[in-house]
Structure 1
Amino acid sequence: MAPSTETKDFNVATSVLPTHFILVPLVAQGHTIPMVDLARLLAGRGARVSVVTTPWNAARLQGIADSARRAKLPLDIVELPFAPADDGLPPGCGDDIDTLVPMFQALHRLAGPFEAYLRALGRRPSCIIYDRANAWTAGVARSVGVPLLFFHGPSCFYSLCELTVATHGLVEEREMCVMPGLPVRVEMTRATCSSAFLNTPAWEAFQKNAMEAIRMADGAVANTFLDLEGQFVSCYEAALGMPVWALGPLCLSTRDEAALACRGDKDKPTAVDQSAVTEWLDAMCTGSVVYASFGSLVRVLHEQLYEVGHGLEDSGRPFLWVVKESEVAASPEVLEWLPALEARTAGRGLVVRGWAPQLAILSHRAVGAFVTHCGWNSLLESVAHGVPVVTWPHLADQFLNERLAVDVLGVGVPVGAAVPDGEAVMVARGDIARAVSELMGGGDVAEERRRKAKEYGERARTAMAIGGSSYQNLTRLIQRFTPSDGNGKEQ
């Protein structure tokens, strides 16, 4: 978190300070979304913001750019030349798990165009905030002489564990070990930390480069808030030896309906699609619906989809289940049984094929549970809206995020997913139905879990409101990088 000294409330929107932030998100959807939320938040406080990205990602952000223009926010999207085909990659490789590491490597080609863009600006920008996966950005910032912050998308709990593993060489540990220096007891293996599917030489080289780039930064920006992860933010800040600015939940950065409608919307659904979901939820009782979705990156095999569908059906609860078009198209078997499932659960279940307006769903009064892959964006969105979770991690930071939700925050019930060891680990329908029933059932434990989720939702809104911890941290961040007139005075 930022230095704790109190400052007077400072609404930058009323000033004329030429503060200019350059944001460099990773092109993967789960990375781009929170950084664009941050861009809108900064612009809403009067800072000029330029989001630098590839042409393909810029096209996907067109709705965000249009929304910013309508709101008269000083936010623009800057395209750098980048052709994925030059590296044998498809245009949408950022959302394809099979090309994730090659895409990380290919993006280093943006360093030259990015430096040229910075040097061509009439005035040096105030600060660059880059996604930690874009390690190449650090060298460019140092070459041009611009202050640098890194944005790390996962929870501070995960980030602290990851840094501890790297600092103490625990990445070589194959057996269970206890993480030193954490405020809570955390036992984990190498696979738990990084997920077995990423334990490759290429991934380890990428991680090494990312850690080296972090050491060149002047601080970090975290999508979290102090009333959720305050103890881990403090420990992470101490471990890094630099300020960590907790500015989230960034998903609460706007209430503009047009902006929310295109948030994460790469498939551009029609208004009818969204209204159909809302109308279905409107007909349901408060807190009765189970929402199930597994993010943009996870690809669920047809055998597992079968278990998900039947597990939701067997739970006896109303459910809204999002299935990716790619999952349906790749599995003829799904096309055989999914219509029958929809027919059997008509009126109680709704299957959305493709994209769904997640924030609108989670904020609806009818939703009482979220079956999630534990990606930090989804988990934080659920917490911010007071919805408890059934945790079903698949890879990367998700297993540690599950530990945070279940063991530390007390807002989740695990479905029983195991850390993968080279092959997908199936979860049976009975486990899904059991976890849903446990989360949404009666009893003191279930009631306490729901109470905690609601309380964290209230704290999240307080953190983002004027005077809240995240609001004040953003004020300090902008003040920290506001240009001076050369005499130490703000212009």
Structure 2
Amino acid sequence: MDSMPNKKLHIAMFPWLAFGHMIPYLELAKLMVQKGHHISFISTPRNIDRLPKLTPSLASHIDLVRLPLPQVENLPEDAEATIDVPNNKVPYLKKAYDALQDSMARFLQDTHPDWLLYDFAPYWLPSIARKLGISNAFFSIVTAAFLSFVGSKAHFGERKNPEDFTVPPTWVPFPTTVTMRFFEVMKVFQGGISTDKSDVSDIFRVVEVLDGCDIVAVRSSMEFEPEWLRVLEDLHRKPVLPVGQLPTVVYDNGDETETWLWMKDWLDKQAKGSVVYVAFGSEAKPSQEELTDGYDLHRKPVLPVGQLPTVVYDNGDETETWLWMKDWLDKQAKGSVVYVAFGSEAKPSQEELTEIALGLEQSKLPFFLVLRTRRGQADTELIELPEGFEERTKGQGLVCTSWVPQLKILAHESIGGFFTHSGWSSVVEALQFERALILLTFYADQGINAKVLEDKHIGYLIPRNEHDGSFTRDSVAKSLRLVIVEEEGKIYRDKAKEMKALFGDRTSQDRYLDSFLDYLISHSKNICS
């Protein structure tokens, strides 16, 4: 037993098919490899190919396992991640994911890892692991507060009406304002609590993996949400282990970005020499008539590349695109810029985008807006900025429709606040750089995340209509000014600075990782047997 801490584990990891899930799993994998362990990272071929490239030292200890995704009716061809499909097609992606049961069982039987870490979606996986005698953990990239709010299997079905989710759960033993708003509940009812086209609801999936796993590992820390971690452990009567916040680092090995890989995938399907590449530099801009006539004349495939070309990092070299962005940021006053981005999954409606844009304009604050106009090739509902917006705000802000180096932007001293969807990865990235948060939620765990942040005065929620979720440009402008410049909002700026010690401390992260790995080593069925 004395040598047990030196035991090197083989750990299999199986995240959900969303890059917002795969990347935190990969970050944890890399940290565990640095401690001497071996990882099998399991996903589908296209997703594996789109992951950030690993350094040789990491790649030799991380096996990238490709399981072909079964084709299901109504799922667009080549769709293997949520970024490939609009929201209404995600249920078909879950159905295809569920069809990986046999492939996963064969892989686990052949390799018999010491531990299996999986996401919320494969509700069928705990029973497979148990049958094979493999120690297994649900690794949650969402907070303990959200998992506690969901409840346990014993509580499943207890809340039948939307209104039941707008009040604190009966099993939470302390007063709290952390609940969902009515419009957030309705979005979840429409796409998660009620049975979707995958025939299994998201809430059922979460409850089943929580019930079936040996332990729960959470991307969190005792310093941030001790009360919710205790509630979660009391609910499920099993170990709940925080693994730290997993602050993201800038890749230094020439990683290919999501945007470039999406472009490359399209280019690979075109005949050799058939594509016309159209770009007019960073200064020239054709009129609407010129743009329309040019497209109609040639009738060849045209790949829109956005205002700024996607870039990669190469050993930390600064690229032309980043330098252009940095040049603009350098000209802004310290702490004055609002950085606006809603992640790779969230997409505002056209009405929401209009209010966001006009609110930015009305705030008079300098802004850096990252806009994703569609979710995959199957998404036909393109969103557009209000007419004349870019011309009117030319001296006020930047608009980027392609990938940007978010960590570098957040690290820049001119950034005063982050207008975000409340996705936890984005929250972690912002708080490690002391950026105040302005919160606008869209779906899933974001509502609970935002309430937790608001409850701790770390973030400010944009005021919205509680019934339909609508908001106005006035509320956007006032919220931005409150958090970024007004004295009344100083509490949010101060709290964000306090959070750096929790979200950016590598030493603390290392301690959480060591504690987690010690547990895995001492409780592996392979070792204990």
Given the alignment, which residue of 482, 493, 500 partners 1:438? 482
Tell me if 1:472 matches 2:459.
no
Separation (CA, whole Å) in 2 of partners of 1:56 and 1:264: 14
Matched, 1:153 2:141: yes
Preserved CA contact (<8 Å) 1:225 1:247: yes
Q: Tell me by how many angstroms 1:178 deviates.
A: 3.2
Quick one: structure 1 residues 135 and 455, their matched pair in 2 at CA, closer, same or farther if it must change by over 3 Å?
Answer: same
Partners of 2:322 and 2:405 within 8 A in 1:
yes
Work out whether 1:237 is the aligned partner of 2:233: yes
Confirm or deny that 1:75 pairs with 2:62. yes
2: CA distance, partners of 1:344 / 1:278: 22
Paired residues of 2:180 and 2:448 also in contact (CA < 8 A): no
Q: Give the residue type in structure 2 aligned to 1:349.
A: G
Give the letter for the 1:442 counterpart.
E
The normalised TM-score by structure 1 is 0.84
Relative distance call for 1:297 and 1:402 in structure 2 (3 A) is same
Partner of 2:288: none
Kept in 1, the 8 Å contact 2:153–2:211? The answer is no
Per-residue displacement from partner, 1:137-189 (whole Å, max 9, x unpaired)?
A: 22221222110000222221111111169627442144353323243423646
SS class of match (1:150): strand
| Structure 2 length-normalised TM | 0.78
2:470 & 2:524 partners in 1: Cα distance?
61
**Partner SS for 1:228:** coil
**2:332 maps to which of 261, 264, 284:** 284
Give the 3 Å change call, closer, same or farther, for CA 183–360 of structure 1 in structure 2: farther
- Contact 2:13 2:40 (C-alpha < 8 Å) held by counterparts: yes
Matched with 1:355 is 403
Alignment partner, residue 16 of structure 2: 26
The code of the aligned residue for 1:479 comes to D
Going from structure 1 to structure 2, the CA distance change for 1:67 and 1:44 (only over 3 Å counts) comes to same
Deviation digits for residues 66-102 of structure 1 (CA, Å, limit 9, x no counterpart): 3232556612211012144566344335233212222
Alpha-carbon distance between aligned partners in 1 of 2:423 and 2:63, rounded to the nearest angstrom:
28
The partner residue of 1:374 within 407, 415, 422 is 422
What is aligned with 1:195?
188
* Alpha carbons of structure 1 residues 78 and 32: separation in structure 2 relative to 1, 3 Å: same
Aligned to 1:453: 496
Q: Distance in 1 between matches of 2:78 and 2:100?
A: 15
Contact in 2 for aligned 1:325/1:354 (Cα 8 Å): no
Q: Determine if the alignment matches structure 1 residue 135 to structure 2 residue 123.
A: yes
Distance 1:345 1:43, change over 3 A: same
Deviations 1:312-348 (A, max 9, x none): 11111110001114289956782772xx322322243
Aligned AA (1:58): I
What aligned pairs does 1:262-341 form with structure 2 within 5 A after superposition?
Answer: 262=257, 267=262, 269-270=310-311, 271-326=319-374, 334=384, 337=387, 340-341=388-389
Q: Distance in 2 between matches of 1:52 and 1:404?
A: 32
Taking the aligned partners of 1:402 and 1:201, their CA distance within structure 2 comes to: 26
2:259 & 2:28 partners in 1: Cα distance? 14
Taking the aligned partners of 2:190 and 2:201, their CA distance within structure 1 comes to 15
The 5-angstrom pairing of residues 398-417 of structure 1 reads 398-407=446-455, 409-417=456-464
Are the equivalent residues in 1 in contact too, given 2:28–2:246 (CA < 8 A)?
yes
Spell out, residue by residue over 1:4-25, the C-alpha distance to the aligned partner (whole angstroms, 9 max, x if none). Answer: xxxx9x998xx5x331110101
Q: SS at the partner of 2:55?
A: helix
Q: Which range is displaced more, 234-243 or 164-173?
A: 164-173
Question: 2-side partners of 1:371 and 1:37: how far apart?
Answer: 24
Number of equivalences: 462
* Equivalent residue, structure 2, for 1:167: 155
Letter in 1 for 2:462: V
- Aligned amino acid, residue 27 of structure 1: L
Larger radius of gyration: 2
Alpha carbons of structure 1 residues 419 and 33: separation in structure 2 relative to 1, 3 Å:
farther
Alpha-carbon offset, residue 218 of structure 1? 1.1
- Which whole-Å CA distance do the structure 1 matches of 2:489 and 2:386 have between them? 36
Q: CA RMSD in A?
A: 3.3
Question: Residue 249 of structure 1: SS of its match in structure 2?
Answer: coil
- 1:405–1:412 Cα contact (<8 Å) kept: yes
Go from structure 1 to structure 2 and tell me whether the alpha carbon gap of 1:249 and 1:277 turns closer, same or farther (over 3 Å shift): farther
Hey, what's the Cα distance between the residues in 2 that align with 1:333 and 1:48? 43
Gaps of 5+ in 1: 1-7
What fraction of aligned residue pairs are identical, expressed as a percent?
A: 23
Match of 2:252 in 1: 257
Which secondary structure does the structure 2 equivalent of 1:321 belong to? Answer: strand
| CA distances 1:330-388 after superposition (whole Å, capped 9, x unpaired) | 56782772xx3223222430101022222222222221111111122222322232211
* Structure 2 stretches lacking a partner, 5+ long: 264-309, 312-318
